[in-house]
Amino acid sequence: ALAVRVQVTWDIGYLNISRDGLSTWRAIGANGQLPIPPIYVTQGDVLELTAINHLDMPVTLHAHGLFQRNSTYYDGPALITECGIPPGSQFTYIIETRDQSGTYWVHSHYRMEGIDGLRTALVILDQDMSLLDEYDEDVLLTLEDWGQEPNNDLMERLQ
């Protein structure tokens, strides 16, 4: 199969949510959605993930578990491999998938943004589909744990 460029754009912004039915607070989503839908690519594809930052703080993204051969500048840790995407700006991450397949995740690596919702599964389908008839179905299950206040507020209060 030929590799393709898979283009995904995340318009990152705040959303008011209520996970417990008792309180509403500000979380972070993409394209007005939370949870953010999973990203699916096939091994060998190149994922172009454009992040448009509408938050009031920087954003960095990290493809958790993926090899960053010759691309450590895309690894996401704020102020270590990159400065972060300033508010009102955008940046496109180029993520190659030629060496890996499986289920990973993409999440923010700035403060507590990932815990406040800026995360999703990244599924890299194996080019070799020989095991396809070995199972009935794939099920992607992600879990989350929500507190009673945004985690950035909690982090500041605990310092």
pTM for this entry? 0.86
* Sequence-separated (6 or more) residues with CB below 8 Å from residue 156: none
pLDDT for 150 equals 65
| pLDDT > 90? residue 70 | no
pLDDT computed for residue 56 by the predictor: 95
Specify the higher pLDDT residue, 12 or 153.
12
Structure confidence by residue, pLDDT tens digits, 81-124: 778 899 999 999 999 898 888 899 999 988 778 888 899 999 99
- State yes or no: pLDDT of 59 exceeds 80: yes
pLDDT of residue 26: 87
SS3 readout for the chain: CCCCEEEEEEEEEEEEECCCCCCCEEEEEECCECCCCCEEEECCCEEEEEEEECCCCCECEEEECCCCCCCHHHCCCECCCECCECCCCEEEEEEECCCCCEEEEEEECCCCCCCCCCEEEEEEECCCCCCHHHCCCCCCCCCCCCCCCCHHHHHHHHC
Q: Is the pLDDT reported for residue 64 higher than 90?
A: no
Highest averaged pLDDT of the listed ranges 37-46, 75-84, 144-153: 37-46
